[in-house]
Amino acid sequence: MTLPKQDLLDGALVDFVDHIAVAVHDADQALHHYVKALGLRVLADERAEDPGVRLVYVDAGNVMIQLVEPFREGTVAAFLRERGEGLHHICFNVERIEPVLQSLPGQQDARIFAGGRGRRACFLLEEPNGVRIELTERHPVR
């Protein structure tokens, strides 16, 4: 049985999947597959000084693909050395991060930072099923 999206999200702490992040060594090379081969469109390309990564957002219709390329040593560079290219995290959109963290046991100490597209973000401290989870706020900081 398939439920309408509205029923699935009633009472949920998150609104929807904002993006799926893929750690890559070279975003330009990775874009060849997403843009040239699949015909997807680049929405944004920016640098996040903390944590030292280039973020390229690709429109995949119902979700964005975020290519994450490190430009200096940091957590993403370490991730690539340990695991190689691939799924880095899934990001969920929320109205405000603090109430969600307060509702999740053991997440009150998650660090909130300036994420991509001018939005506040945080990574949850636990990785359920080995998948890193990010939360990003719906609206950019003004």
Q: What is the pLDDT of residues 96-127, one digit of tens each?
A: 999 999 999 999 999 999 999 999 999 999 99
User: Is residue 8 included in any domain, yes or no?
Assistant: no
Report whether pLDDT(52) > 80.
yes
**How many domains does the chain contain in total?**
1
Mean pLDDT over 55-84 rounds to 97
Output the average pLDDT for the chain. 92
Please give the residue range of the domain that contains residue 116. 14-137
List the one residue out of 23, 137, 6 whose CA is nearest residue 89: 23
Per the confidence metrics, is the pTM higher than 0.85? Answer: yes
User: Is residue 5 included in any domain, yes or no?
Assistant: no
